[in-house]
Structure 1
């Protein structure tokens, strides 16, 4: 589970919007043909309607979710180990139950391990709590910050899956103070839609803030004024870039 420090706390919640990857162990209740089971499991890739389990923190009503991919890793007797990539808010335990229902075999989840959140994977130098404790020890006792620097990731990496807008230097300080971004301040951008969360960057690639799109990016062509992004959470401190004073 990703943890955040200091000003990155303002952005960490956006990881919940990113997709997830899990490795799950499913136990099938009846004997089955492996090839037929694989075929039926792959039918769950794509859009699905899922009813949250009884013990959940959301209202129990059917919700559309996306299963991006599903790979069977191993089958041993009645146990099936598989990797699955899903949209945020997808319940793997319920997915396995639904697979058992559809196949008529019955199934339940035995083990579950999350291997990816948004663009963060186990291969990105993520640490266990013991690894973090060791890194802090080396820093405090020996002044060695290399283990700690491997454990702590830049917040830009955690939220890199979101669309981005790069703003001019003159707009940075005002955004650091919570101002929205108007058309003249936008230098370049990735496509985004009205209401989407957008990352706001300097031209040097430094994250400034996170905001919500006030328009579709396709609307930027042909307009010279108006609000593009409404700033929500500011990451960069004011004063790093020069304050802009509009001349009369």
Structure 2
């Protein structure tokens, strides 16, 4: 078998078959509808988004294309970041910043009735929570939190703590690890780039918009394995210590990404052993990417 070409050497077709697009979702369509449109427009069999956004919510929505949909689980490992308007039901108290800061902690949350997941009580951590501005009965919040946090529920609970009541107003996602809002592109940008490539053969715009899917793995610890070991992994073998060239520090059972020396992603797996051992299994496979 032949391994995938290095990220910088891939043709436009190969890029679309294992790519990621850092989309700026507009209000209106659901995240699922956006992914379906990308799938059809890019003419690939599959596309997957990096975490649900409600139709009215805007912002950072990375979309994986083709075989890259196999890495979608990585977005459950990273954090999400939002900017949200908190609509207060009464005048805010003078100590609003101090009260809001108390929510910077692990919190119990139950998914709303309309959620697609089971409505069981669970814990989600708020890593950072800042009040950026307060004007009349509105507070602008910046929230960095664990994947799966319900900002609508967080807004309701903050309102109770403030004694004013509150609900979530406009919400924009500004980041989903390892992506942020500094290089977002629109669906119109993608459409223009695809049309330019298909009509003229020029792929410069397309390469600015569709990135090798390896970019979606940059926040994970990495393990570099030899090409012959990569061939074995492609056939279902785990990663054994003799095939490991280099490895980042990772805790046991932590999700890691394995690459060949030229930067080609080979698999996702869980760290289960020591890369310095002679024969032991180092990475247990979860997703083969070649």
Give TM-score, length-normalised by structure 1: 0.86
1:231 paired to 2:285: yes
RMSD across aligned positions (CA) = 1.8
1:167 is aligned, of 204, 217, 225, to 225
Q: How does 1:1-248 map to 2 (within 5 A)?
A: 1-33=61-93, 35-123=94-182, 125-215=183-273, 219-220=274-275, 223-236=277-290
Q: Contact 1:178–1:232 at 8 Å: present in 2 too? A: no
- Cα pair 1:15 1:159 within 8 Å, conserved: no
Deviating 4+ runs (over 3 angstroms) = none
**Unmatched segments (≥5 aa) in structure 1:** 237-248
What SS is found at the alignment partner of 1:228?
Answer: strand
Conserved 8 A contact 2:132-2:141: yes
Q: How many residues align?
A: 230
Whole-angstrom CA distance in 2 between matches of 1:151 and 1:11: 19
1:169-196 superposed Cα distances (whole Å, 9 cap, x missing partner) = 3312111222111121122212223332
SS in 2 for 1:71: strand
Task: Report the TM-score when normalising by structure 2.
Answer: 0.74
Deviation at 1:9? Answer: 1.6
Match of 1:239 in 2: none
Answer with 1 or 2: which has the greater Rg.
Answer: 1
1:129 deviates by: 0.9
Aligned-pair CA distance for 1:86? 0.5
Aligned partner of residue 4 in structure 1, secondary structure: strand
